[in-house]
């Protein structure tokens, strides 16, 4: 039951939807689970590789008591050994990427793939990714071409100081979500970082099955990478779409952030199939956001389509009722699950812009009260 449910939930696209041109904009970082995930960094609509600051001079040696607390765990908690290079850039052999891109090109031409670790590890892609790619090709890219390049000069607007950490949905990868993230940074003038989960796209090593634990570690690695770049926690805006709302809520409930935007979120994976469940079953249920959203101490914006036939509108309303730092939600009357960022793109962008300004004013007022 658990194995079948895991295969039903995680549907990474296969093969990777990258091209040789887009692959040059990517770089890889290490995660706590020991894998390397591809990351792309946008600054005002331009993809570039950020320059991490040198923190070697700022590090101080920990006291013996701190070292003891770090490595002494209770005997009933068995945690895997944490990687020492989590959130740091990783070196990738170009031959590994070339092999994955070769599989992608052969599959695009209808050739039969051999029994490779990539084919054994990843599942079949769902129908949502193809339909969303077609809609993006017809709408998002047209709007992106209408935005003047380069964008206007920085004028000190509140939304321009945020850095977005985007978590895409199921049956998608960084290639399909990259156009939308680039559009966000172009219109808002902010920075953004998007990534692939372990087992999705060009994540290495190939053939690793995605899991809930790896989702959390991947999001945490990107968050720590932004902190290493010098981004303050109150300037990090988390955006999670569909199943990406699970690791987004998990990260926001444990670490300080500037704001959370949930697009078509789900209360938990099991509640998508059985919406009448009133409690979380730890052995079978995954991404129980309904049990963690009340722990978020930053403003939360929920966007959901009322005609969603994949994740019902009751999920968005349930999370809204449970959230303590909620703002006015955005319920789209005729929107489904895959056309929120397409047919209602201007409405969503305008609401995110207003929400980012509210988050900036919220933390500014809190700092004044502390002073």
Active site residues: 242, 308, 337
Nearest to 30 by CA among 80, 84, 87: 87
Nearest to 197 by CA among 287, 79, 316: 287
Helix (H) or strand (E) holding 79: none
CA angle 28, 341, 209 (to 5 degrees): 40
Rounded distance, CA 270 to CA 290, Å?
12
Helix (H) or strand (E) holding 245: helix 245-252
Rg of the chain over all Cα atoms, to the nearest angstrom = 20
Rounded distance, CA 190 to CA 257, Å?
16
Dump strand ranges (E) for the chain.
Answer: 27-30, 36-43, 46-47, 89-90, 163-167, 191-195, 236-241, 259-263, 300-305, 330-332
Residue 354: CB atoms within 10 Å: 14
Q: Show Cβ contacts of residue 282 under 8 Å, excluding neighbours closer than 6 positions.
A: none
Task: Check if the beta carbon of residue 267 is closer than 8 Å to that of residue 363.
Answer: no
Tokens of 348: 């969503």
Tokens of 271: 């509640």
Tokens of 173: 């990868």
């Amino acid at each position: 039951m658990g194995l079948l449910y895991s295969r039903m939930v995680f549907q990474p696209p296969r093969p990777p939807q990258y091209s040789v041109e887009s692959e040059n904009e990517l770089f890889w970082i290490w995660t706590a689970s020991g894998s390397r995930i591809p990351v792309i960094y946008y600054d005002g609509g331009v993809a570039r590789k950020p320059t991490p600051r040198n923190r070697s001079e700022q590090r101080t040696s920990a006291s013996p008591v701190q070292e003891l607390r770090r490595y002494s765990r209770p005997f009933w908690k068995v945690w895997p050994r944490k990687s020492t290079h989590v959130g740091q850039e990783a070196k990738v052999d170009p031959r590994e990427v070339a092999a994955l891109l070769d599989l992608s090109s052969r599959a695009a031409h209808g050739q039969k793939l051999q029994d490779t670790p990539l084919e054994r590890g990843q599942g079949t892609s769902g129908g949502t990714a193809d339909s969303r790619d077609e809609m993006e090709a017809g709408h998002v890219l047209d709007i992106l071409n209408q935005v003047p390049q380069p964008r206007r000069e920085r004028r000190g607007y509140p939304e321009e100081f945020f850095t977005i950490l985007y978590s895409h949905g199921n049956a998608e990868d960084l290639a399909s979500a990259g156009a939308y993230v680039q559009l966000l940074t172009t219109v808002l003038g902010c920075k953004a970082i998007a990534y692939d989960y372990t087992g999705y796209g060009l994540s290495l090593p190939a053939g690793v099955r995605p899991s809930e634990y790896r989702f959390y570690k991947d999001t945490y690695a990107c968050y720590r990478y932004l902190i290493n770049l010098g981004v303050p926690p109150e300037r990090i805006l988390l955006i999670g779409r569909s199943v990406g709302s699970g690791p987004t809520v998990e990260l926001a409930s444990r670490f300080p952030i500037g704001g959370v935007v949930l697009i078509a979120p789900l209360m938990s994976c099991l509640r998508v199939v059985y919406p009448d469940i009133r409690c979380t079953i730890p052995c079978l249920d995954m991404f129980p956001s309904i049990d963690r959203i009340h722990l978020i101490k930053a403003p939360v914006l929920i966007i959901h389509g009322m005609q969603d036939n994949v994740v019902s509108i009751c999920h968005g309303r349930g999370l809204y009722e449970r959230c303590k730092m909620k703002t006015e939600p955005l319920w789209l009357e005729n929107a489904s699950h895959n056309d929120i960022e397409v047919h209602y793109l201007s409405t969503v962008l305008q609401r995110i812009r207003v929400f980012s300004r509210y988050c900036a004013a919220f933390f500014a007022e809190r700092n004044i009260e502390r002073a």
